[in-house]
Structure formats: structure tokens, C-alpha cells
Amino acid sequence: MQFILGSGSPRRLELLAQIGVVPDAVRAPDIDETPHKAELPRPYCARMAREKVAAVPAAADDIVLCADTTVAIGRRILGKPEDAAEAEAFLRLMSGRRHKVVTAVAVKRGEKLWQRDVQSTVKMKSLSDIEIRRYLATGDWRGKAGGYGIQGPAGALIPWISGSFTAIVGLPLAEAANLLQAAGYPFDGGAA
């Protein structure tokens, strides 16, 4: 049995290490992440996690974990910005408002699938033009849902959250540990 992390996210690798889980292999799936017409954020996120875990090549006894993090304002999904202009538009949209961050986790072993999703609420402070420019200049928005990562420089822009900090970063650890345990991952007497 091997444990395969189906993600290219260094943050997910770091989060798993916090609970003593080190993958035997890392295989980022290549799937189309385009939302379906009128697809709501939570079902979209769950579908992405399922499609990712299904796309990772694995032996029948291997355990594969994939996750997807989606940032949303109302029904609108804010994906990974294409460029600084789109990242700025996302920041202006979230400025002074609450938004949702959904992270879905899927674990597969053979034909069995376990899945959970966690929804958190994040409040971004009202941002000045200078704060937006300063944040965009860090480049931290690249490759991140909604154009920010709470664990980086954007943490200074977020005065309040309700939910799971690790889910907002990209992997809800309590839920991930429970799913891995259900799939038979051999935790060594500890963290999970």
C-alpha cells in the first residue's frame, strides 16, 4: 500500500506533515476545473475533489487523497486569477465583505471513496488602493483560489474567520485525518 497525495500544492504537503503524514508519491491530476453553468460553489468544490481523486493513477490498495478549495461570494466562484488585474478585481470584490471558503477532501482506496467538505466564512477588511497594490506586488495571489492565501501576506488583510483555518489554507486536517483513518491509513500512535 502506498499513500498518494493527488495535489501539487506545497501547502497541502506541509499541512499533512503537521499530522505526521508523508506521502509515498505526489501526483497532481490534470483535470478541467471549469465550473458548469449555474453550478453552485459547494457542489462544484465537491465535484472537483471527486474528479481529481478519480484522475490519479493508483494501484487497487493505494490510498489517494485529493482536495479542492473554492472561494465564493454568494453564488459566484472566484477561481485562481489569470493575472494581476483579475486578482485586483477579486480583492476589490471581497474588500470589506465576508466570503465563503469551501474545501472538499476526497480519499479513494480501490473502488471505495470517502468525502467531506468544510465551509468557512472569512471577512476581509476594507482595502485601500495602497494595500491592494502592495499585496499584488508580493505575487502571493498567483495560483490561489480567490487570489489570496490566508497563511501568507494576505493574513494581514483578514481580521476574522469562522470555521477551519486549515481548510481555508487548503486542507481541513481533522476531516482529512478521519477520512485517511477510514481508508486504513496506518497512523503511528499519534496526531490523528
Backbone phi, psi, residue 110, to 5°: 65, -125
Kindly tell me the sign of the dihedral angle through the C-alpha atoms of 48, 54, 58, 62: positive
CB 140 within 8 A of CB 152: yes
Kindly tell me the sign of the dihedral angle through the C-alpha atoms of 166, 83, 32, 41: positive
DSSP line for 70-132: EEEETTEEE---SSHHHHHHHHHHHTTSEEEEEEEEEEEETTEEEEEEEEEEEEPPPPPHHHH
DSSP letter (8 states) at residue 56: S
Determine the number of helices (DSSP H) and then strands (DSSP E) in the chain: 6, 7
What is the rounded CA–CA span in Å between residue 135 and residue 141? 8
DSSP letter (8 states) at residue 147: G
Cell for 50? 471527486
Q: Give the active site residue among 24, 30, 32, 68.
A: 68
Active site (annotated) includes residue 117: no
Residues designated catalytic: 68
